[in-house]
Amino acid sequence: MTSLKGSEELKGAIAHCRTAFIGVALMSGLVNVLYLTGSFFMLEVYDRVIPSRSVPTLVGLCVLALVLYGFQGMLETLRARVLARVGAALDESLSGRVFDIVVRAPLKGAAPSDGLLPLRDLDSLRAFLGGTGPGAFFDLPWMPVYLAICFLFHPLIGVAALVGAGVLATLALLTDRATRDPAQTATGHGLRRNGLAEAGRRNAEVLAALGMQARFADRWGLANGDYRQAQQRASDIAGGYGAASKVFRMALQSGVLALGAYLVINGQASAGIIIASSILVARALAPAELAIANWKGFVQARQSWARLSELFARMPAPAQPHALPAPCRSLQVEGISVAPPGTQRLVVQDVSLALQAGQGLGVIGPSASGKSSLVRALIGVWPAVRGKVRLDGAALDQWSADDLGPHLGFLPQEIELFAGTVAQNIARFDPDATPEAVIAAARAAGVHDLVLRLSEGYDTRIGEGGAGLSAGQRQRIGLARALYGDPFLVVLDEPNANLDAEGEHALTGAILGVRRRGGVCIVIAHRPSALAALDLILMMADGRAQAFGPKDEVLKRVLRPASVPTPPTALQEPA
């Protein structure tokens, strides 16, 4: 049922091109009528021109044939262009939705092993619609017309053409059955190969530093070999059936020539029938042969359609909720429990707290205590299994991501900057960002002077992932991005992990600045220096809140003085 809903969404996108498909069908009809030009031209030449030895008749027939061929060429060119634009229109209609799925799928636990597979599926659909495959399928309904004309020439010629059509139809069915499983297998191996390549690209430094590159290359080579063999098997099967259909059609064409000659010898047909029937039979079977030649692309497009339908059904387009005013008063967490996307294992259980404007909360606890999972739920990245997170009384699911985003600031543990300028990264790539707003965010994060020391200041271009910047610089620019636009709720996950003394001083000032302007700041910290500007502490352990309250009280309660170990007695060296 769910895949059916996703299929309906894709069908809706195709339905917008209904007029174009009707036009292509009409053009295909005219093209197939014009395909009769060659057969009737040869029929007239052999039956009229040669017996009458009339050069003017021959010239007239040649001019007429050239005009008809010209129209046929124009119509085929127009049909190809219309189909290409249908593919482009489908891409334009679905590309935003597919990109939304690519970005949201990891947050829902629905991402395929190759995260870019939905985009490749859309490319496959567009390529098929813009290629020669649809033209062949539009020509297939005209096969009975050609077969009927063959019967008009002579019943035996019609029977030969009908048998040929049946053989080609059988080959098409066999091609479909034989290529379905190999194509799916090749897709699976391709996903594994691409996943390993992406993992190697992301971890290039680790592979090089630890001497793992050769071993990882061997793993990728095995996966690539499996993909290559599966792809080769699918291509061999499709190519074999395609060659068989082509050879059969050529043999059938020669056989029809021989059959026409036999009929002429026995006085049952005119000489023109020999050539005309051969051309007509070849044309009657050409759509089937072309469809078999494009069957591999058709199978891939059909699999892409099925995968996109399933993804569309599993991740429906988010509804646009009613716009709400900017939050400015409070954050309430009402007994939330959180599980990582795609799993049922709770990593945060029954956490409740309330923060008012101007307050700052530090979240502390041992590793794997649920701190990062909690903040992901606080900003709506991971949905709560139960419970609610509210801003000014409104649950997060009452906001759209685009409406909520400007009111949130988030600095994750792993800082991901994007290819572009420093100013664009700070401004979250807002096309309407003003220089004053960018500089204000940089000053709030204490990073203005650091940016000015870069080669081109705010116009310095950085690579994907922040390439060209140190870890500390990336973290401080990420902090400026979190503070851009003065968001109400600012969440910082270990913001001082890569900072020096200057950076930690700037971080403390940034947290105080958020509180002074009436925002709420939540900081996950392992180092005590990040807690200096906060007034509340939440202690987490085993996914549960162990203590929550004023900083001094909680720290006194949860921290124990470390026992001073007795130094070992020094061994006296022998004399």
192, 221 contact by CB (below 8 A): no
Burial of 184 (0-12, 13-18, 19+ CB in 10 A): middle
Q: Is 408 helix (H, G, I), strand (E, B) or coil?
A: strand
Q: Is the pLDDT assigned to residue 1 strictly greater than 50? A: no
DSSP string over 260-290:
HHHHHHTTSS-THHHHHHHHHHHHHHHHHHH
In the sheet where 520-524 sits, what is the strand order?
408-411, 489-493, 520-524, 360-364, 536-541, 544-550
Q: What is d(CA 23, CA 170) in angstroms, rounded to the nearest whole number?
A: 30
177, 98 contact by CB (below 8 A): no
Q: In this structure, how many other beta carbons lie within 10 angstroms of the beta carbon of residue 295?
A: 24
DSSP string over 434-457:
-HHHHHHHHHHTT-HHHHHTSTTG
Tens of pLDDT, residue by residue over 360-390, are: 999 998 888 888 889 889 988 888 889 999 9
Q: Is the pLDDT assigned to residue 314 strictly greater than 90? A: no
- How remote is the C-alpha of 34 from its chain's centroid? 41
Average pLDDT of every residue of the chain: 83
475, 495 contact by CB (below 8 A): yes
Q: What is d(CA 353, CA 332) in angstroms, rounded to the nearest whole number?
A: 6
Report the interhelical angle of 295-314 vs 155-202 (nearest 10°).
50
98, 122 contact by CB (below 8 A): yes
Q: What are phi and psi of 526, to 5 degrees?
A: -110, -25
Closest to 276 in 3D by CA, of 248, 258, 262, 257: 257
Q: Is the pLDDT assigned to residue 572 strictly greater than 80? A: no
- The sign of the torsion formed by the CA atoms of 222, 223, 225, 230 equals positive
Q: What is d(CA 27, CA 305) in angstroms, rounded to the nearest whole number?
A: 26
Residues 6+ apart with CB under 8 A from 573: none
Q: What is d(CA 325, CA 431) in angstroms, rounded to the nearest whole number?
A: 23
Band of residue 424 on the pLDDT scale cut at 50, 70, 90: very high
Tens of pLDDT, residue by residue over 436-461, are: 999 999 999 999 999 999 989 999 99
DSSP character for 397?
Answer: G
pLDDT at site 112: 58
Tens of pLDDT, residue by residue over 503-549, are: 888 889 999 999 999 999 999 987 777 788 898 999 998 889 988 99
Tens of pLDDT, residue by residue over 204-216, are: 767 777 778 888 8
DSSP character for 237?
Answer: H
The answer to whether the 2-314 and 330-558 domains have the same CATH topology is no
Q: Is 348 helix (H, G, I), strand (E, B) or coil?
A: strand
From residue 300, alpha-carbon distances to 114, 237, 555 in Å are 16, 14, 60
Tens of pLDDT, residue by residue over 390-405, are: 999 898 888 888 888 8
551, 531 contact by CB (below 8 A): yes
Q: What is the mean pLDDT of residues 339-366?
A: 89
Report the percentage of the chain scoring pLDDT > 70.
Answer: 94
Residues 6+ apart with CB under 8 A from 56: none
From residue 532, alpha-carbon distances to 84, 315, 330, 492, 536 in Å are 62, 42, 22, 14, 11
Report the CATH superfamily, name and number, of domain 2-314.
ABC transporter type 1, transmembrane domain (1.20.1560.10)
Q: Is the pLDDT assigned to residue 571 strictly greater than 50? A: no
Residues 6+ apart with CB under 8 A from 307: 112, 117, 118, 121
pLDDT at site 244: 83
5, 316 contact by CB (below 8 A): yes
- The owner of tokens 């509210």 is 390
Q: What is d(CA 447, CA 415) in angstroms, rounded to the nearest whole number?
A: 15
- The owner of tokens 């063959």 is 150
Domain boundaries, the chain: 2-314, 330-558
Tallying the residues shown for the chain, one arrives at 575
Q: What is d(CA 484, CA 434) in angstroms, rounded to the nearest whole number?
A: 11
Q: What is the mean pLDDT of residues 71-76?
A: 91
Closest to 406 in 3D by CA, of 478, 490, 507: 490
Residue bearing the bigger pLDDT, 84 or 322: 84
Q: What is d(CA 155, CA 462) in angstroms, rounded to the nearest whole number?
A: 75
User: Which CATH class name applies to 330-558?
Assistant: alpha beta
Q: What is the mean pLDDT of residues 274-283?
A: 79
Q: What is the mean pLDDT of residues 316-336?
A: 85
